[in-house]
Amino acid sequence: MVQPDQPERPRGQLVEVPVRPREDGAAGYGRVTAAVEPPAWGLKKYLAHWNVWARRGYVDMVETMDYEPRKYFDKELKESLNFVPSGFPLLAGIDAAGNSMKDVITDIRDSRVYDSAGEVIWYYRPISSSAALMKLKSSVFQHRTLPSFDDLVIDSRSSAGFQKTGVWSRHVGGFRGGYLSGRAADGDTAIFSTRILRSGFYSLYGYWSGNSASNCSRVVVRTTAGSLFHQDLINEKSNLNSWNYLGGFHLNSGDTVKIRLYGKGGGHLIADAFRFRRRGSGAPDQRSGVRQRK
């Protein structure tokens, strides 16, 4: 898939971006991931400039193999997160084979404090048949989730999937510890975008914070992708600090979905996060009292 390196290029560098076929041979795109060494020794030993891979779009996600004793984990993870563009999906690789389960759980919790995109657990034996699984499920994995390609979250903290026009202020709180507020009357606009990896029926959710007294009560959420045009009018004074169902529709692999957010009237326009969750049933979630179809 990747052409051999040219003699003048350092080893370990991509010189041609491959086409990304899906493994099942169907139309659309797959996701390219890489398991990489932390920059402190990956650069020196392997000349692995995976920050360039991330910046130029050669890979969609990386997992750093931080398979080190507990005392080195935080330092190497922070260096890895600073090595890639802000908002790029980076998963923390955690050694459950050589470290105690207590240290593994601490590493997982720290990876979430530092806002990694998730964790990859390295273990020699099938983890499902060991007591380790029960310890993980009772502490750091208490809720079911979907694979990252079926549960796409776009956050206003991400430089890759978020743009804005106008004057916005950053606040502490919200979905991942921070959100933005603009002024609806000034025409401030926020745009969230992501690429769909698997075709299917998706439910769209919005998350907003702020203040019920000062938030805008008439916010337009316009979703577009290919021939899709879907528009809602929501009230950001209500249902704060929770995921709110906004609609459901079919999306195709390779689609780039954009959500444009702007306000009508006065008040603060809140830009926090949106989420697309793929549904296997083909039917939308039934929720009431959240949206007003325009």
- What's the distance, Cα to Cα, between the start and end of the chain in Å? 47
Q: So what's the pLDDT on residue 6?
A: 32
Q: How far is CA 149 from CA 30, 146, 195, 200, 251, in A?
A: 10, 8, 10, 11, 13
Q: So what's the pLDDT on residue 283?
A: 40
Residues of the chain with pLDDT under 70: 1-31, 44, 125-130, 143-148, 159-160, 280-294
Q: So what's the pLDDT on residue 143?
A: 64
How far apart are the C-alpha atoms of 291 and 211, rounded to whole Å?
18
Contacts of 293 (CB under 8 A, 6+ apart): 232, 233
Q: So what's the pLDDT on residue 54?
A: 85
Other CB atoms within 10 A of residue 274 CB:
29
Q: So what's the pLDDT on residue 144?
A: 62
Token pair listed for 101: 């389960």
Give the predicted TM-score (pTM) of the model: 0.59
Backbone angles phi, psi at 129, to 5 degrees: -105, 15
Q: Contact, 278 vs 205, CB < 8 A?
A: no
Q: Which domains does the chain have, with CATH numbers?
A: 33-144 (3.20.20.70), 152-293 (2.60.120.260)
Q: So what's the pLDDT on residue 199?
A: 86
Q: So what's the pLDDT on residue 127?
A: 67
Q: Contact, 47 vs 54, CB < 8 A?
A: no
Token pair listed for 294: 């325009």
How far apart are the C-alpha atoms of 127 and 73, rounded to whole Å?
21
